[in-house]
Amino acid sequence: MSNENAVLQGDVIVVTVPFAALLDTLKTVKSSFKTGQVLVNVSVPLETAVGGRATRTVGVWAGSAGELAASVVPKTVSVVTAFNNVSAELLKDPAKQVECDVLVCSNDDNAKRIVLDLVKGIAGARGFDAGALENSRTIEQITALLVSLNIRYKVKSAGLRITGISPVS
């Protein structure tokens, strides 16, 4: 289905486009959003958006890709940053254990709860409330580091585990 129809029909919308396509994608579907929907931004401002390396990020005038998304969609849509540090390679196969933690940021506690509940449906994954949407700035930077680790160790699944605290239950 088209992106516009997907937005019209979903309660939770997940945008996973490369950063270079984020603005255009959101502008294209902006009029399709409905009050109360949750937008999960997974895009990360990797330098590849401007012809650079995937192991570095570019500065975003809004602060982060998550905050940029929030500045584009209607204010009645709650924006959440999540899954930025989980390898797409791991998420492709629902039967696989995803031994990664998912950091979830939003200014809307209910939207965070919805996404944290989605994380519980992924075998092996654990969700953590990582605070306000502005914390996306830090979470997105970690992705570049994980890409670098993947390259260095010749894998496609480097991820994070948070220790010392329990995930959200």
Residues 6+ apart with CB under 8 A from 138: none
Instruction: Evaluate if residue 13 carries a pLDDT over 90.
Output: yes
pLDDT tens digits, one per residue of 135-152? 999 999 999 999 999 999
Q: CA angle 10-111-93, nearest 5°?
A: 60
Domains parsed from the chain with CATH numbers:
3-153 (3.40.50.720)
Instruction: Evaluate if residue 169 carries a pLDDT over 80.
Output: no
pLDDT of residue 109: 98
Pairing of β 78-81 and β 12-15 = unpaired
pLDDT tens digits, one per residue of 26-78? 999 999 999 999 999 999 999 988 888 888 989 999 999 999 999 999 999 99
Number of H helices, E strands in the chain: 6, 5
